[in-house]
Structure 1
Amino acid sequence: MTQEQQRLQDTTTHLIPWKKFGPYLTERQWGTVREDYSPDGNAWDYVSHDMARSKAYRWGEEGLGGISDDQQLLCFSVALWNGVDKQLKERLFGLTNGQGNHGEDVKELYYYLDSTPTHSYMKMLYKYPQRKFPYRKLIEANARRSRQEPEFELLDTGVFDKSRYFDVFVEYAKAGPEDILIKVTVHNRGPKRATVQVLPQLWFRNTWSWEYGAKRPHMHQSQPGAVHAEHPLLGHYHLYCDDAPRLLFCDNDTNGARLYGQPAEAEGHYFKDGINDFVVEGDEEAINPEQTGTKAAAQYVLSVGAGEARTVRLRLSQPWQDAPFADFDHLFWTRQQEANEFYDCLQESLPAEAGADARNVQRQAFAGMLWSKQYYYYDVSKWLDGDQAGENVSGDYRRRGRNSNWRHLYNADIISMPDKWEYPWYAAWDLAFHCVPLAMVDAEFAKNQLRLLVQDRYMHPSGQLPAYEWNLNDVNPPVHAWATWRVYKMDAKLNDGRGDRAFLESVFHKLALNFTWWVNRKDRDERNIFEGGFLGLDNIGVFDRSAPLPTGGKIEQSDGTSWMAMFALNMMRMALELAKTNPVYQEMAGKFFEHFLYIADAMTRGGDGRFNLWDEEDGFYYDVLHTPDGARTRLKVRSIVGLIPLFAVEVIDEELLNSMPEFTERARWLIDNRPHLAQLVSRWQEPGKGARHLLGLLRRSRLKRLLARMLDETEFLADYGIRALSRYHQEHPYIFSTAEADFTVQYVPGEAESSMFGGNSNWRGPIWFPINYLIVESLQRYFFYYDNKFKVECPTGSGNYLNLQEVAMELASRLTKILLKDEKGRRPAFGQDELLQTDPNFKDYLLFHEYFHGDDGHGLGANHQTGWTGLIVRLLQQRAYS
């Protein structure tokens, strides 16, 4: 057992709080729903990037490369100043949804390079220009660009030309759970000596401005270069700053004079932006000369020669340290070695031929996932009603508006975020995908994440899971059961086959409520045809499925119905597992088995037996538009909506069936007495390899036809995975005409060219890791049943026949090579950018984009969405076993 594994075990079994401090600051608190108290719900404008330095936040804190405790009461991050910017670089800059030509978009270069699961060692990199940061140029250039043009990026501004920038590495190493060593190393990559100010900042989250009588915490200089921080809940902490720099103090309070034109506060009050105003504007009155407040910074002025580096050392500790830097370097080296040992152990299964690059990609993917934890605080009832004190007031609009039917929701937890700048809030289906790779390094954390969303203070009393803060009512694909079962199995494998049944059982019961919510709310006509609405796939539909249809009526969804079939099989499989020790679950397994059969029947014969979702002529599944006049029309868009039926597949061993007499009897009764259902289920009565039984929506013939389309390089199969939309629609767009307008779906491999759904929610063909991952996994399950008896042409028309495991590994290979170096040392994800591809200070630092170009594989969308793109860690591991 490595030292990091021991720390993980101690965290769980001995309750040693190794995770009390971690990277729990968000990267963007401004522009979020939580901080929006506007009368019209315009979150992006209510608190802007420019306002952020002066406004005390209500619900959380942000910072550059920062950490906090697990209740985000005490925060630490790094601020920088190059001597020419008009403000400190203490938060990441990006475009709002209305400013970007493809929606919101962070415009910075930063990388998460390393982290252990207890955060005993962490490392990140921020690239800081020596020239003036081009805020205005980025806004104006993107405003001039249309949706048909690429985004104007930071590298396009020329601010990094001639390598005139600093590489700022921020590292943390824990001497103990509440004793953290901090190292900030600045490399001058430019040709000349340059000066930079490094300002490590320590502050308390403002918890005292919102309720009358709340006690204010306190910081003061205790000795030269040392800050004493005292909080009524946390107790005492000390920040030691090597070389005794000047300490600057102010308060984490809103500067009402700057933001709202309010009269200046009483003399002696120092606002949140005081340190900024002192450093940038030379305003001596902005900081407290008494060396006290609720926010402090250490001022280091570093002159760094060309090609040289300077390091700043600090230590944040609860216990007093007489000699804080005596053992600093040795402890840091020790934690780095322990991190290496942890990942060396984890990566033992990667074959030698995978090489150092694959290990680097996997380790940085883990780092991105672990750095993307965030303290997420949102009390909807309090948010709707407003606060006792302060400027956060309420009104009739708020009480009736966004999220007003989620008053029960109270979140105050460490949660895995999709992207802490672009998506600094949890999303139900994103989180499910995150938990699968997270379980490889910290199964307890993954299990706890899955537990969170089904807790009473998250799940709606109706059984609905919260989607995301912009609209908690929205509907995400029901993948929570799939993730729960996968994490359970992964955890059992790590524990010599001993599964955590308490975890499985507790989540299963809550998911049974969620399943019932879907059945009651999304099967409008009780025909087992589901209308999920958004389902994460608004990118490829003819209409906005979350809004009333322009034709009236409804859409019978291939994807919504298939997700529910998958959900039913996931629940059945969990019930069978629980029935091994408690036979009562056999009845529940039978219920979900029966529900799956009725969904399969509806998918095949239509909800009323007249018009189904399968098109025999095309060999594909389509959505069906049902209009008020009773007419039904297949919306013949070849998209991943038609591939999702692949995901509803399960294989059961004969041995398991023999041990479940009540379930087996129920299954046989259904098959004997409902023959129209039995004939729909693939090979249930014909055991395959090793006497296994197959449950799936696709019979052999349909599976073959669907895969022929999916593996066709003129349609779905790209060099880098499966496209979201068939390339057939590039030359043959699908057009649906109404009396008012024509609705067109056309293949676009990259960013959207339409604004139908607003923002950046209009993708028309890129490659998505989560959908591709589910395809790979589903093919593996089909192979588990068919073995080598079922082969398909891959690619279609090539004459090369592969079994389904080989097809799965071919897809995994295509996906992973997006981020891996090719034979020329280039990464497809970096596109044509020569700096990223060839510069030694760029080429081995990875970004994990939200999605990837459908033809050339370059990265698009949010560029730190390691959450679901982090699935690459599993794909790399699976390739090792192929």
Structure 2
Amino acid sequence: MIETLEKQRLNERADNRGWKKWGPYLSERQWGTVREDYSVYGDSWQYFSHDQSRSRAYRWGEDGIGGISDNKQHICFSFSFWNYKDPILKERLFGLTGAEGNHGEDVKELYYYLDSTPTHSYMKMLYKYPIEEYPYEKLLAEGRNRSKLDKEFEILDTGIFDKENYFDIYIEYAKAGPNDVLIKLTAYNRSKKSAKLAVLPTLWFRNTWSWGYTSHPRKPMLTGIANSQVEIDHELFEKYKLYLKDADQLLFTENETNMERVFGKPNKSSFVKDGFNEFLVQGRKKAVNKNKIGTKMAGLYEREVPAGQKIEIKLRLSENTHLHNPFEDFDELFTAAEHNADDFYSKVQKDIKSEEQRKIQRQAFAGMMWCKQFYYYNIKQWADGDPKMPFDFYGRNFERNSTWKHAYMHNILSMPDKWEYPWFAAWDLAFHTVTLAKIDSDFAKRQLAVVLREYYMHPNGQIPAYEWNFSDVNPPVHAWATWKVYEIDKKQRGGKGDVKFLERIFHKLLLNFTWWVNQKDEAGNNIFGGGFLGLDNIGVFDRNAQLPNMTLQQADATGWMAIFTLNMLRISLEISLEREVYQDMASKFFEHFLHIAAAINNKMEEGNMGLWDEEDQFYYDKLHTPDGRTIFMKIKSLVGLIPLCAVEVIHEDLLEKLPAFKQRLEWVLKNRPDLASLISRWHEPGKGETHLLSLLRGHRMKMVLKRLFDEEEFLSDYGIRSLSKFHEENPYDFHLNGEDLTVRYTPAESDLSIMGGNSNWRGPIWFPLNYLIIDALHKYSHYYGDDYEVEYPTGSGEITTISKSAYAISRRLIKIFERNGKGIRPSLTQNKHYDGEKYFKDHYLFHEYFNGDDGSGCGASHQTGWTGLIADLIEEVNSGK
């Protein structure tokens, strides 16, 4: 088969020194992050605000609109805009902080990632910019005035985009070579009147010179030549040039803090970070350097855009510094890059028949690509402060991540969302890799490996969770993702698996597994805790909180550990095919799984251990109180569904190739019948001579599936709810320390402040857990085949197979993004603009989670991260595999 040009680049293992050196690695929000917080009490949102961001140099990264940078973010490029009405230059996306939004932080802009190849040889995004004054104050006021019971007030609710009164600004990049980037901006005036627009393509250096380190590179320099070229002088790079076509003028300043505005101290120079804002918006002509030198520059394009017309701006960032006519072949190269992208995705999507599903999937992939970010965080330096601080630093009474002084992150990472979550989250990242592997398995494998490296993982074996608190505990899904990525990669490599990758990951996962066993199994009885485990407010109280003289044993934590154990078993078996010594590790994990199965399934009267409730036929968390009582926390939620996902299928022919493991396995099953009886029908081969390892036996599995497929409980028209709809009319009440606590089915945004209140696991649909459940159902189907029948939906009288029910759930999830019979996409029902308006209707948003009743999008609106799993579901439904 003839490979596409993009696939050839990937087969050459294009890395950050080649075709991936330049990419969309710029954040969309650096302000308000933990990294930029040097306050005494750890108030990240208040310490470094959006208002300061235009005037204050960042320490750990940079942000911008539709931007790119090199892989270590020394040289940065993005676009700024002004409509001649806004009070400030639009240099970065605006949104509300965690305290300002009635449901937490929330970006208040319209932008869409439309396309990107894995090597970023072609990229495209759309930013919608109002012609009238951007409503900063109105958005802030509405956020303050609304309660958690109210809907969020979004940018479209302001009316600023009504009557097509805005610019559609398309930002595109095409590479003529690894270090030769063509840049094109096309701005359409969608309104019925002519409008002025200033465009400032901006190039600057991340500030590495103001912090007092002699080891850092010397201060770099940008130098303008006429109005058409900028020389880029940085000692870590060969010479580069930025070529600008038809710029009105070039503006230069320094990427230095405006000390006078931010801290009330005199500036050493009149050229500071917000110089372009002062020059253009405030009319201060001396705010820019007339000598055309500095560490930050912009080309100024002031244009009158006629009604319904467009303007184009072209630039070229290149290592070729002697281009006499840099735009001579511009259009031809751009067209070729677009065609290469189309060729690549035509192969990726060859089995997808629906044009709409192809569009959904391609934009999902685009979001995954655009949400790569350079992430820099040296915790010891951050905690201690720098030798030379351009602001007063009084130390930290509240020192976040104080036990992680070894951590030194300096990588390109896949972010959940580059505005609302511009930092890695370990379990999000694991799910990202499953989608990333579909188009760039090498990058997916690197992502899994990096957070397990010694400069990320704690010496005790814990994986850092996310920058607000690395010590929080995320579900242990890394091993699951590792095996999924390995299988995807193996298929792409013609059946030859990357066993070296598996082995490399396995050793680090073993450290993490040991940490879980030592730290989260308090009683040593294979029943685990772990805290909120990523499910924020799913419990009746904050599960991260220390309960006085009480112990909480968690069905999800124990289920996660059973999944982890089976994943480690499967990985060790695969490695054993090449290195037989790993059969010992496989035996260890096989036996450990049996002990977890025994513990979670024991009845209450048998040592007071198990988490299965015979009365309700469901798994629950269990609370041990100071007076010796044991209470099932009878909340029907994802917590009780996680054990369903602890399943693995082992083929008989694999066992035959691993005699040492098979011998030990049979010895255990013969000599520990109490354990053997807890796993499903090991001695009864399934479809194709397979064996099943799972926590759920036949009857219990039927009862969990009955509830899972019940539309009055978990099964929504749009996927699996995080909390049973049963609790809408039957809320769960609990009395704790004089306080009455209630869990009620809440299908959309949270109405509480548990864990910040900006995520809700009490009813909405979340893609990662839906995907995990679907994956488990396919494994059960692989073992049982068509012999195991289920009623789907429960009570419908329709009998089907497990496999068909799994695909049916996938189709419900896909339906969130597809137009229904009324021409409306459920995910976007919250605003009329998406119902069919010409310039809105073909764009998708991949929200953080979705309303459990109507499928509308909730939470972070651009969280392409784990919602990007829609791309996998579309492929699987179309391939039928």
Superposition TM-score tier, normalisation by shorter sequence: over 0.9
For residue 687 of structure 2, the aligned residue among 686, 689, 694 is 689
Shift of 1:763: 3.7
For residue 246 of structure 1, the aligned residue among 244, 249, 253 is 249
Q: Aligned pair 1:208/2:209, yes or no?
A: yes
Residues 698, 91 of structure 1: alpha-carbon distance in 2 compared, 3 angstrom cutoff: same
Q: Unaligned regions of 5+ residues in structure 1, if any?
A: none
Q: State the alpha-carbon separation in 1 of the partners of residues 489 and 169 from structure 2.
A: 37
Task: Map 1:23-422 onto structure 2 (within 5 A).
Answer: 23-213=24-214, 214=216, 215-266=218-269, 269-320=270-321, 321-350=323-352, 352=353, 355-391=354-390, 397=396, 401-422=399-420
Q: State the alpha-carbon separation in 1 of the partners of residues 186 and 14 from structure 2.
A: 33
Helix, strand or coil: the match of 2:396?
Answer: helix
| 2:263–2:391 Cα contact (<8 Å) kept | no
Helix, strand or coil: the match of 2:350?
Answer: helix
| 1:11–1:18 Cα contact (<8 Å) kept | no
Q: Which deviates more, 816-825 or 404-413? A: 816-825
Q: Which deviates more, 317-326 or 608-617? A: 608-617
For residue 580 of structure 1, the aligned residue among 569, 577, 581 is 577
Q: State the alpha-carbon separation in 1 of the partners of residues 654 and 66 from structure 2.
A: 50
Q: Aligned pair 1:720/2:697, yes or no?
A: no
Q: State the alpha-carbon separation in 2 of the partners of residues 508 and 212 from structure 1.
A: 38
Task: Map 1:483-632 onto structure 2 (within 5 A).
Answer: 483-549=481-547, 552-605=549-602, 609-632=607-630
Q: Deviations over 1:306-353 (max 9, x none)?
A: 111110000011111121000000000000000000000110011x2x
Q: Kindly provide the amino acid, as one letter, of the partner of residue 250 in structure 2.
A: L
Residues 614, 212 of structure 1: alpha-carbon distance in 2 compared, 3 angstrom cutoff: closer
For residue 812 of structure 1, the aligned residue among 807, 810, 813 is 810
| 2:247–2:300 Cα contact (<8 Å) kept | no
Task: Map 1:423-462 onto structure 2 (within 5 A).
Answer: 423-462=421-460
Structure 1 outlier segments of 4+, above 4 Å: 392-396
Q: Deviations over 1:280-325 (max 9, x none)?
A: 0110111111111000000001111111111000001111112100
Helix, strand or coil: the match of 1:349?
Answer: coil
| 1:492–1:498 Cα contact (<8 Å) kept | yes
Q: State the alpha-carbon separation in 1 of the partners of residues 599 and 536 from structure 2.
A: 23
Q: State the alpha-carbon separation in 2 of the partners of residues 832 and 101 from structure 1.
A: 17
Helix, strand or coil: the match of 1:325?
Answer: coil
Helix, strand or coil: the match of 1:303?
Answer: strand
Shift of 1:669: 1.6
Q: Kindly provide the amino acid, as one letter, of the partner of residue 566 in structure 1.
A: I
Residues 849, 579 of structure 1: alpha-carbon distance in 2 compared, 3 angstrom cutoff: same
Shift of 1:795: 0.6
Shift of 1:224: 2.8
Residues 392, 34 of structure 1: alpha-carbon distance in 2 compared, 3 angstrom cutoff: farther
The total of aligned residue pairs comes to 874
Q: State the alpha-carbon separation in 1 of the partners of residues 737 and 129 from structure 2.
A: 54
Q: Kindly provide the amino acid, as one letter, of the partner of residue 361 in structure 1.
A: I
Helix, strand or coil: the match of 1:737?
Answer: strand
Helix, strand or coil: the match of 2:290?
Answer: coil
| 2:243–2:317 Cα contact (<8 Å) kept | yes
User: Identity of paired residues, percent?
Assistant: 55
Q: Aligned pair 1:675/2:678, yes or no?
A: no
| 1:385–1:395 Cα contact (<8 Å) kept | no
Q: State the alpha-carbon separation in 2 of the partners of residues 774 and 521 from structure 1.
A: 25
Q: Kindly provide the amino acid, as one letter, of the partner of residue 181 in structure 2.
A: I
Helix, strand or coil: the match of 1:126?
Answer: strand
Q: State the alpha-carbon separation in 2 of the partners of residues 316 and 630 from structure 1.
A: 70
| 1:724–1:768 Cα contact (<8 Å) kept | yes
Q: State the alpha-carbon separation in 2 of the partners of residues 552 and 762 from structure 1.
A: 28
Q: State the alpha-carbon separation in 2 of the partners of residues 817 and 223 from structure 1.
A: 54
Q: State the alpha-carbon separation in 2 of the partners of residues 611 and 89 from structure 1.
A: 58
Task: Specify the alignment match of 2:831 in structure 1.
Answer: 833
Shift of 1:866: 0.7
Shift of 1:756: 3.0
Shift of 1:397: 3.0
Q: State the alpha-carbon separation in 1 of the partners of residues 609 and 56 from structure 2.
A: 57
Shift of 1:689: 1.0
Q: Kindly provide the amino acid, as one letter, of the partner of residue 223 in structure 1.
A: A
Helix, strand or coil: the match of 1:525?
Answer: coil
Task: Specify the alignment match of 1:637 in structure 2.
Answer: 635
Q: Kindly provide the amino acid, as one letter, of the partner of residue 370 in structure 2.
A: W
Shift of 1:840: 1.4
Q: Deviations over 1:526-562 (max 9, x none)?
A: 010100112111221011111112x531210000000
Q: State the alpha-carbon separation in 2 of the partners of residues 865 and 784 from structure 1.
A: 32
Helix, strand or coil: the match of 2:298?
Answer: strand
Q: State the alpha-carbon separation in 2 of the partners of residues 396 and 63 from structure 1.
A: 29
For residue 755 of structure 1, the aligned residue among 740, 753, 756 is 753
| 1:750–1:763 Cα contact (<8 Å) kept | no
Q: Which deviates more, 238-247 or 331-340? A: 238-247
Q: Kindly provide the amino acid, as one letter, of the partner of residue 314 in structure 2.
A: R
Q: Kindly provide the amino acid, as one letter, of the partner of residue 233 in structure 2.
A: E
Residues 392, 677 of structure 1: alpha-carbon distance in 2 compared, 3 angstrom cutoff: farther
Q: Kindly provide the amino acid, as one letter, of the partner of residue 603 in structure 1.
A: I
Shift of 1:391: 3.3
Q: State the alpha-carbon separation in 2 of the partners of residues 391 and 208 from structure 1.
A: 11
TM-score by length of 1: 0.98
| 2:38–2:395 Cα contact (<8 Å) kept | no
Task: Specify the alignment match of 1:8 in structure 2.
Answer: 10
State the superposition RMSD in angstroms: 1.3
| 1:602–1:609 Cα contact (<8 Å) kept | no
Residues 715, 481 of structure 1: alpha-carbon distance in 2 compared, 3 angstrom cutoff: same
Q: Kindly provide the amino acid, as one letter, of the partner of residue 403 in structure 2.
A: N
Q: Aligned pair 1:877/2:875, yes or no?
A: yes
Shift of 1:685: 1.6
Q: Deviations over 1:161-191 (max 9, x none)?
A: 2111000000000011111000000000001
| 2:573–2:583 Cα contact (<8 Å) kept | yes
| 1:8–1:118 Cα contact (<8 Å) kept | yes
Residues 271, 506 of structure 1: alpha-carbon distance in 2 compared, 3 angstrom cutoff: same
TM-score by length of 2: 0.98
Task: Specify the alignment match of 2:23 in structure 1.
Answer: 22
| 1:385–1:394 Cα contact (<8 Å) kept | no
Shift of 1:759: 3.7
